[in-house]
């Protein structure tokens, strides 16, 4: 394809048509991301007050503001046994569940409106972590939002909202820092950018910082988190992890 974002645009249109997601919902995702990014020193693209509608159309319905830009980054994560972790760190964060999934990427078999791979990855991680009701048991989430509509899709895929309702919960403020279940306190990829091949670790490292109190985040409780990353266009692969402190 001459425009690599065309496939994402088709997914966006399918999702929006099926669940009644409107342009203003994408605007709200973009606005939330940039507002959150102001407090994140890694969010080099954070631009509070940025108007989505003022940016050019890249592949209808996606505008420039709906698409995360790439960024150079490196992430180091140290894994250790419980004994070693407690010896060298006063506030270790435990990986209670981690799972990845890939599904059909063939266009004729792919569900354009729902990322099954994200649902399967999340379910695997939840099973390992013994989480039965993610919306009630998860305190906050860092999910892949390299396209604005993907934040809503992935919220639903991770069972943080029933299908088709993420837009309504977003409008009610449920996913804001002061809401019931904050999503992307970092601003996500829309504010930070997409670090090639380490986006999942970027989401994880920020969540760890929130749980340890090392980064400024307006969240009442940060004991259990779910983090998620998608492989990106044109793939249908996701990974999810459940963290506890």
- Phi–psi pair at 140, nearest 5 degrees: -160, 165
Query: Tens digit of pLDDT for each residue in 121-130?
Result: 999 999 999 9
Q: What's the whole-model pTM score?
A: 0.95
For residue 217, the model assigns a pLDDT of 83
Confidence of residue 137 (pLDDT cuts 50, 70, 90): very high
* 178 Rama class: left (phi>0) / alpha (psi -120 to 50) / beta: alpha
- Alpha-carbon torsion angle 43, 46, 52, 57, nearest 10: -60
1: pLDDT strictly greater than 60: no
Q: Is 7 helix (H, G, I), strand (E, B) or coil?
A: helix
- For the beta carbon of residue 52, count every other beta carbon within 10 angstroms: 19
Q: How far apart are CA 127 and CA 132, in angstroms?
A: 8
| Domains, the chain, ordered by start | 6-244 (3.40.47.10)
Say what percent of the chain tops pLDDT 90: 89
pLDDT at 2: 67
Backbone angles phi, psi at 97, to 5 degrees: -165, 140
Phi first, then psi, for residue 214 (nearest 5°) are -90, -15
- pLDDT tens figures, 93-107: 999 999 999 998 787
Element (H, E) at 24: helix 23-37
């Amino acid at each position: 394809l001459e425009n690599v974002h065309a496939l994402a645009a088709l997914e966006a249109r399918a999702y929006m048509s099926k669940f009644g997601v409107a342009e203003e919902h994408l605007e709200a995702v973009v606005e939330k991301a940039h507002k959150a990014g102001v407090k994140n020193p890694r969010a080099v693209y954070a631009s509070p007050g940025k108007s989505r509608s003022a940016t050019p159309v890249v592949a209808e319905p996606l505008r420039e503001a709906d698409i995360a830009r790439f960024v150079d980054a490196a992430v180091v994560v140290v894994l250790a046994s419980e004994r070693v972790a407690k010896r060298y760190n006063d506030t270790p964060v435990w990986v209670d569940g981690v799972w990845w999934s890939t599904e059909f990427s063939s266009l004729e078999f792919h569900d354009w409106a729902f990322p099954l791979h994200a649902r399967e990855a999340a379910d695997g991680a939840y099973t390992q972590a013994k989480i039965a009701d993610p919306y009630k048991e998860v305190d906050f989430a860092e999910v892949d939002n390299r396209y604005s509509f993907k934040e809503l899709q992935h919220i639903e895929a991770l069972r943080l909202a029933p299908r088709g309702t993420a837009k309504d919960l977003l409008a009610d403020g449920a996913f804001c820092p002061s809401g019931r279940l904050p999503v992307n306190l970092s601003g996500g990829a829309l504010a930070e950018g997409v670090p090639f091949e380490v986006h999942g670790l970027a989401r994880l490292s920020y969540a760890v910082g929130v749980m340890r109190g090392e980064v400024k985040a307006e969240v009442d409780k940060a004991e259990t988190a779910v983090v998620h990353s998608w492989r990106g266009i044109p793939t249908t692969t996701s990974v999810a992890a459940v963290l506890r402190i």
